């Protein structure tokens, strides 16, 4: 049985709550010494989350009335993905995962793992894709280990002006 009472595509009414969750996550990351998602603290949103919500690419996970987390699933690679993934980004069988964020009030309850298990099921059944791709800072060992532990294969590294990123993919 799922620990979530609902998983739904976010709509425009969820935008404020989702942005608050992302900013809170960026603040938490900063408190841990990471500059990941730091742009959100300056009002910059490289993923243009409100637009992604309007395109139906953001999913919100609820436990009763509490937002447990969110994830962005792009059916088409964005500019970031094309830069990081290069030639592989032309493969139409992949979905690109961005902005996995959990409510810090629920930390330690395997929320992230359960969200990723949902993604493994939803990508082929709801999005018609066979591959999930994601990237994370290569220097964040905990996050790299998290994705490896979920069965994602490290397929290389990508670089851009923001740093060096581990590229992970999983066939579903």
Burial of 66 (0-12, 13-18, 19+ CB in 10 A): exposed
Specify if 151 maps to a domain.
Answer: no
Specify if 95 maps to a domain.
Answer: yes
The reported pTM is: 0.94
Specify if 41 maps to a domain.
Answer: yes
Specify if 160 maps to a domain.
Answer: no
Overall number of domains in the chain: 1
- DSSP for 80-146? HHHHHHGGGGG-TTEEEEEEEEE-GGGTTS-HHHHHHHHHHHHHHHHS--SEEEEEEETT-HHHHHH
CATH code for position 51: 3.40.630.30
pLDDT tens track, the chain, 172 positions: 478 999 999 999 999 999 999 999 999 999 988 888 999 999 999 899 999 999 999 999 999 989 999 999 999 999 999 999 998 888 889 999 999 999 999 999 999 999 999 999 999 999 999 999 999 999 989 999 999 999 999 999 999 888 899 999 999 9
d(CA 37, CA 99): 9
Specify if 115 maps to a domain.
Answer: yes
d(CA 57, CA 45): 15
Exposure b/e, 137-170, CB count within 10 A at least 16 = b: bbebeebbebbeebebeeeeebeeeeeebbbbbb
What's the token pair of residue 112? Answer: 């992230």
Domain hosting residue 90, numbered range: 6-133
């Amino acid at each position: 049985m799922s620990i979530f009472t609902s998983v739904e595509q976010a709509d425009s009414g969820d935008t404020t709550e989702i942005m608050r969750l992302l900013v809170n996550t960026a603040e938490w990351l900063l408190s841990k010494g990471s500059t990941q998602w730091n742009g959100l603290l300056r009002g910059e949103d490289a993923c243009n989350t409100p637009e992604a919500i309007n395109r139906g690419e953001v999913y919100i996970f609820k436990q009763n009335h509490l937002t447990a987390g969110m994830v962005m699933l792009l059916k088409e690679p964005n500019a970031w993905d094309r830069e990081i993934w290069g030639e592989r980004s032309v493969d139409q069988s992949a979905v690109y995962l961005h902005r996995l964020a959990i409510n810090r009030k629920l930390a330690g309850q395997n929320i992230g793992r359960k969200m990723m298990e949902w993604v493994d099921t939803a990508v082929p059944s709801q999005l018609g894709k066979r591959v999930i791709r994601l990237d994370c800072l290569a220097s964040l060992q905990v996050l790299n280990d998290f994705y490896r532990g979920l069965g994602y294969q490290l397929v290389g590294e990508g670089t851009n002006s923001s740093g060096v990123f581990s590229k992970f993919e999983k066939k579903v």
